[in-house]
Structure 1
Amino acid sequence: MQTANEDQAEYWGNSESGTKWLTFEDKLDHMLAPVLDLVLERADLTPGLRVLDIGCGTGASTVAAARAVGPEGHVLGADISAPFLDRAAQRADAVGLPNAAFQLADAQVAPFEPETRDVAISRFGVMFFDDPVAAFTNIAKALVPGGRMIFAAWGPLSDNPWFRVPHVAATAHLGHPPKYGRHAPGPLAFQDIDRVTGLMTRAGLRDVSGEPVPLRLPGLNSVEDTASLCTRVGPAARVIAHFDGSEDDARIIQRAVQGEFEHFVVDGIPGLPAVINLFQARRAA
């Protein structure tokens, strides 16, 4: 695989922290379902469309898109993680979707077949590029003239307890790992809408727009289960891994997260408010 993002390939393909997403696949798909619904709603996929799914992960987005475009359409899921793609292919096969295919690819540099896709979508797969302008330029090459892009990314840390609460709890207990630039590749790299729309414009895209969309992410069966998930993956997990934290450390952090998540229970049902940045654009005609 040709790659310009070796650190991301290593993290998502080989590290224990990255591949934990396989362990918690069902729970993560449940909590992030409103984000996928948002992307698919805005993409307005209809039968016969050819779709490129960037950063498809374990395949929830590719499977949903393949169902939407029907047997006369096609979806190519691309991801930098071979373990994720193996699982994604299993999921597509299990539900009988021969119109879904998968490619191990760094979308910043991958030589996708040019002008073969009507739409490019992504649920949280575009924030990890070392050079976003190069990535958007390369993805656009796969689109037909006038083809559309619809991407979802996390909004600011302050608006997303999914990240903020576990991060605060973990760093309060273990300390702060080395800081990275605010716009360094990572989950929150696209929190600044004006910056990202500027990058997309520089990549030659047209009709570029970005908007913050408030959502509520459904929790799991209990606040405890929700806090456990958000401690085992995401920013808390990265802090714990950096400091070689113990299971006792993880439990202490989880209890702190659980206490904060209690504030987000509505009618006895746990959930987390979120702000998702939704970006749209077209390849120049």
Structure 2
Amino acid sequence: MKKACNFGDLPPEFSREGSSKVEIIPVPYEATVTYRGGTGKGPGAIIEASRYLELYDEELDEQPYKIGIYTASEMKDLPQEPEAAIDKIYHRIKHSLSSDKFLIILGGEHSITVGAVRAFAERYPALSVLQLDAHADLRNSYEGSPYNHACVMRRVGECCSFVALGVRSLSKEEADYIQDKSLKVVSAWDLMRGKDWKKIILDYLSDEVYLTVDLDVLDPSIMPAVGTPEPGGLGWYEILGVLRYLAENKKVVGMDVVELSPLGENIAPDFLTARLIYKMIGYAGKSYGWLERR
């Protein structure tokens, strides 16, 4: 059986670069993972799983693929040194931003977000970031590198503001940093206790938002294929609620989905990730007016 060559295994009329509204950019970078590896295989697994998606979205009563989804060639030969890899990713994303497409970057480990956000922040000076993640990722340096995946939001915070949702694992250093800087980090405990995350999104994110989804924000019962599967995460309909609310109330200018470590024959996490991405394409398509509003 042939492997899918593009997201959704779409025919040419819906996957051409020139006419598509969405661009998928696979970035199979893996260099600083600290527990279970395999994130370098994530983009390929997501694209392969996407060929089995039903392309009609019953929630939206739409077929989002009709806006066009172009899948770029994966970034190959990335340097193992994180800072050099991030710089190369920055230049690649900066190039794609000139096309005015909705960009979706597939990781790979979470450190790729730094390069992407730097490119987006140049294009959108008032950019803010919504981080969905089990971990704060706010260490200043980890294992000798300030560009380790455990430092990604510390680096992101150097170029724009951000809000984090779903955090349930962090160091004392990170907890102190959050308090000292008065950062908007909504923990999983906060969500369980009914904290109004919608108001936080409205009040603390700018109009133009970049979304970064570390898949470990999800509960391991539905997403075991991550490096550090922390218990107590979001469920399927909870994360969809966040994505839809964000798209309806802010302009989501781009996003990444990172940290999938495929589990071989257990393809459920791969399929969930592909479905999550397709759902966000639908939500974004609605908000941009590319799909008919109902």
Band the TM-score falls in, shorter-chain normalisation: 0.3 to 0.5
Which structure shows the higher strand fraction?
Answer: 1
TM-score (norm 2): 0.37
Larger radius of gyration: 1
TM-score (norm 1): 0.38
Which structure shows the higher helix fraction?
Answer: 1
